[in-house]
Structures are given as structure tokens and as C-alpha cells.
Amino acid sequence: MRIKGDIINDILVQLGVSTTVAFFTDQILDDWVDKAHVWAAGTHKWPFTEGRINTTYVADASLEVGFNYPEGWKPDSIRLLQVGGERFTKVNFQSYQRFREDFPNDSKKIFSEHGRLYFINPNADVSGTTTLWGQFTPAALAETDNTVTTVFSDVAEEGHEAMIEEVLSYAKKRQNKLQESFAHHQKAQQILEELWLRVKDEQFGYQNVEDEGIFKRIDVLGGALRDDIFKRDQFF
């Protein structure tokens, strides 16, 4: 099961009906499958809804309007930003605004997000291409094409089982069978949670770079990082 047509066929088999009945027309099933797809894809930050986009970077220190968010991306989902291959640090928007007001000429490589905009310190001495990594919202499935795939196709087929259960919950609700509807919705949630646990188990194996730490030791009196003050073999 990897395409929309397979999902619809399975739904019809479980309902024991055909699309000739008024309750379950082709249009209704198309809408329900698309709705279930959006719902299932949005329950977690799945690795198969991660994306990357490139755009030309144009800096203008006189403008603070920000850059438009990538179309179809979830708000506040930019996890990594580079300009010309140089990484920028993400800070919260209030800190970014204070920094720009207090240090208007500072070239620190930082960026932030607010609403459907992202902001890059225009004084950072960089140029080239902006590369963003983040989370996108899946596009709607084509209504007239039963061969289209979903975000779960070929990578997490269990997601289709969850979609089917969710569509069955819509169908039972339409038939005014509310308890059955709730039961199918719970089953859909359970399938996705089990899938998410497996994803997290795989991600647990990720390791940090050896010299990367959460904190750096600071020399309080000198105001410098201890790593900058004490260098190995500095007297040789």
C-alpha cells in the first residue's frame, strides 16, 4: 500500500460499500483521505517532512522587514540557517531585536523568526546563497490522481494504516456512530505514536561532535573563554 488509490480501496473494503452510495462518493473520500494525510503528517516532526531550500541572500541594513518564510513550511521550524556556507545561530525574536537596537553595527552571525518571516543580521559579513533546513507541511493530494504517494510512502507504511483508521472515524461519524468513530480515531493515534517511538529510538543513536559542548567555560575576570586562554603546548 503506497498510493492514494490503495488507501481508498482499503477504506471501501472495510466499510463494505462502494462509492455509488451517497454517503461515500469519490469526492467525499478524496477530501477525507487528504484531510487524514494532513492530520497524520502533522502529528509529529517526522524526518520525512524535513526539507531544505536555497535562495539568494541580499543584505540591506536599512531594512528590518525580514524575509518571507518558505512557502508551505511550518512556522518556527527553521532549525539551521547558513549564508554562503557559514552557519548562523538562532536566537529568540526579543533578543534579536534588543541586539539590533543595542549593537546596530555588530556583525554577529545570528538570525531569528517571527510569524511568517525570518530575520538575518544584515551586518554579518556574508554573501552568496541562503540555505535553510526545516519542516514543511505536505501539499494536498491531487484529487483526480489515485496514483499519488504520501509522505509515508516507501518510508513508513504504518502511516497509511493510521490514515485509514482516521478516515473510518470520519465515516462512522457521518453515520452517527460516534463511539465507533472515537474508537477508530484512537486507533489512528496509537499507530502514529508507535511509529513515532520507533523514529525516536533511531534518533537516539545520533552523537555530537567530540569538541561540541552545551557550555563553554568562561574566565570571569578576563572575560574570555578558557579555551582561548589555555592552549595545549603553548610553551613549545
Digit-coded pLDDT (tens) for 112-144: 999 899 999 999 989 999 999 999 988 888 888
Residue 59's pLDDT is 75
Residue 188's pLDDT is 98
- Cβ atoms within 10 Å, residue 5: 14
> Cell match 503506497: residue?
2
Cell of 110: 545570528
pLDDT single digits (tens) 179-214 = 999 999 999 999 999 999 998 887 766 666 665 555
Residue 171 near residue 24, CB atoms below 8 Å: yes
* Per-residue pLDDT band at 17 (split at 50, 70, 90): confident
Strand extents, DSSP E, 91-222: 110-114, 117-120, 129-135
* Per-residue pLDDT band at 218 (split at 50, 70, 90): very low
- Cβ atoms within 10 Å, residue 38: 16
Q: What are phi and psi of 132, to 5 degrees?
A: -120, 140
Residue 115's pLDDT is 87
Say which residues have a Cβ less than 8 Å from residue 160's Cβ, sequence separation at least 6. Answer: 1, 2, 6, 7, 150, 152, 153
Q: Which H or E run includes 54?
A: strand 50-56
pLDDT single digits (tens) 139-192 = 888 888 899 999 999 999 999 999 999 999 999 999 999 999 999 999 999 999
Cell of 229: 586562554
Residue 24 near residue 12, CB atoms below 8 Å: yes
Residue 209's pLDDT is 65
Burial (Cβ within 10 Å: 0-12, 13-18, ≥19) of residue 62 = exposed
CA dihedral (121, 125, 130, 136) positive or negative: negative
Q: Looking at this protein, which amino acid is placed at residue 6? A: D
* Per-residue pLDDT band at 219 (split at 50, 70, 90): very low
Say which residues have a Cβ less than 8 Å from residue 75's Cβ, sequence separation at least 6. Answer: 69, 113, 115, 116
pLDDT single digits (tens) 44-56 = 999 999 999 999 9
Task: Round the average pLDDT of the chain to a whole number and report it.
Answer: 86
- Percentage of the chain exceeding pLDDT 70: 83
78: helix, strand or coil: coil
Residue 131 near residue 52, CB atoms below 8 Å: yes
